Amino acid sequence: MSEQLEAYLSQARSLAELVETESNKIATRARLLLTMEEAYGIRQIIITGSGDSYFAALAAASSIRAWTGLPTSAMVSMEASRYMDHGRPPLAGRNRGLLVVAISNSGEAARLVEATKRLRHLGAITVAITANKESRLGQAAEKHLEIPIPSAASAPGTRSYVASLLGVYQLGIRMAEMLMSMTMAQAEGLRGELRRTSEALKEAAAVSEPLMSKLSSAWATKDRMDCLGSGPALASAQYAAAKFVEAAGIHATPQDAEEFHHLNYFVAEPQNVPAILFAPSSALSRNRSLELIDALDQLGRPKLIITDASDFTSSDDLLLLPKVSEAFAPIVHAVPASMLSAFLAHRRNEVHYRGHTGPWRGAQNAGLVRNSKLELPN
């Protein structure tokens, strides 16, 4: 087994311990983040980030919307930085009702730093969820929820993604508790449920590794792939597609399960384009997922259904994961997504991120995302 493959798999295997050891610590920090006055003044929440950080925002947004009763949106950093303030000056504190949660493990993504500075200037409450409080994002934000994680072998973002999920979930639970849109007992129940996903992660790693190794052999020559899901599982589809690109160089497309029927359903040579569907049994989109599976079969698409329900499809096309709530399913989905991308890179003899060499050399030291010029209001 190559050193690169083992490093990546070890990250996926370590997620259970990460959740078990860090979830309560992050919850404790989240409790102290906002005052009651600030919480009760919030009228809208925007969660923003780039890459994996945006996927974490997308995973949590619908749950935080439900928990708090507040309009909550996941937003890519470019939209948050350039298409929110439109150059308007602060309006006498009127924008204090906007909470902006900016997620970045490194805290150095230029567009996110820019978004945080611009929206703080506009009057929003800005919270950075980051592992590096001293980073540019840490300096730009008014408040900080630190998610430092123990170091591990280098691999495409896996532990950092799950740590970001823990941070944004814990913040959402605390806000709902403060706003009394859920009781303290309900909030503690959610915190306990979040912490217990560590048990599901252990089982997910055990069942995923042999199947992902086998599937990677069958799919190693495929250069296109669709990753599908709805609600929080759309974030899982986005995350999986990103890992297939980063690790194995496969052109993977994430798509909402409904939108698939309007768009990628029509790709040519469907027998050569595998599809992965993330479909928790408790999902509000369950019935549409069942219809989508039928459509994939009619097209002759190679497929993998990642679910916790054995009645979704035949065992040949199924990865059966332990059952968790739809809200927290993206945490568990990170395991098969990262393991399959690890094995595909190994089978295809690909270096992660193409080694940041040749035409990809501009990505060295994350220069393409860190060195972009900031555009700030005067």
Backbone region of residue 130 per phi and psi (left: phi > 0; alpha: psi in -120 to 50; beta: other values): beta
Confidence of residue 85 (pLDDT cuts 50, 70, 90): confident
Give me the pLDDT at residue 336, please: 98
Residues 255-275: tens digit of each pLDDT: 999 999 999 999 999 999 999
Q: Tell me which of 170-184, 320-334, 357-371 is least confident.
A: 357-371
* pLDDT surpasses 80 at 315: no
* Residues above pLDDT 70, as percent of the chain: 97
**And the tokens for 75?**
């937003």
Average pLDDT, rounded, for the chain? 94
* pLDDT surpasses 90 at 63: yes
Give me the pLDDT at residue 151, please: 79
- Give just the sign of the alpha carbon dihedral 166, 168, 169, 170: positive
pTM of model > 0.85: yes
Q: Tell me which of 123-132, 159-168, 309-318, 362-371 is least confident.
A: 309-318
Q: Give percent helix, percent strand, percent coil of the chain, each to the nearest 5.
A: 60, 15, 30
More confident residue, 93 or 218: 218
Identity of the residue numbered 220: A
Confidence of residue 364 (pLDDT cuts 50, 70, 90): confident
Rg, Å, the chain Cα set: 20
* pLDDT surpasses 60 at 252: yes
List, in order of start, the domains of the chain with CATH numbers: 3-197 (3.40.50.10490), 199-354 (3.40.50.10490)
Give me the pLDDT at residue 118, please: 93
More confident residue, 267 or 375: 267
* pLDDT surpasses 50 at 184: yes
Residues 201-244: tens digit of each pLDDT: 999 999 999 999 999 999 999 999 999 999 999 999 999 999 99
Query: What integer is the mean pLDDT of 316-341?
Result: 96
Give me the pLDDT at residue 84, please: 87
List strand residue ranges (DSSP E) for the chain, in order. 44-49, 72-76, 98-103, 125-130, 143-146, 224-229, 251-256, 275-278, 303-307, 318-320
Residues 100-111: tens digit of each pLDDT: 999 999 999 999
Rounded to whole angstroms, what are the CA distances from 205 to 81, 148, 230, 241, 363? 37, 23, 23, 19, 30
Query: What integer is the mean pLDDT of 39-59?
Result: 97
- Give just the sign of the alpha carbon dihedral 79, 81, 84, 87: negative
Among residues 134, 70, 71, 138, the alpha carbon closest in space to that of 103 is found at 138
Among residues 25, 33, 26, 23, the alpha carbon closest in space to that of 127 is found at 33
* pLDDT surpasses 60 at 92: no
* pLDDT surpasses 70 at 91: no
Give me the pLDDT at residue 93, please: 57
Give me the pLDDT at residue 310, please: 78
Alpha carbon 374 to its chain's center: 25
- The DSSP code sequence of 190-252 is HHHHHHTHHHHHHHHHHHHHHHHHHHHHHHTT--EEEEEE-THHHHHHHHHHHHHHHHH--EE
d(CA 264, CA 307): 21
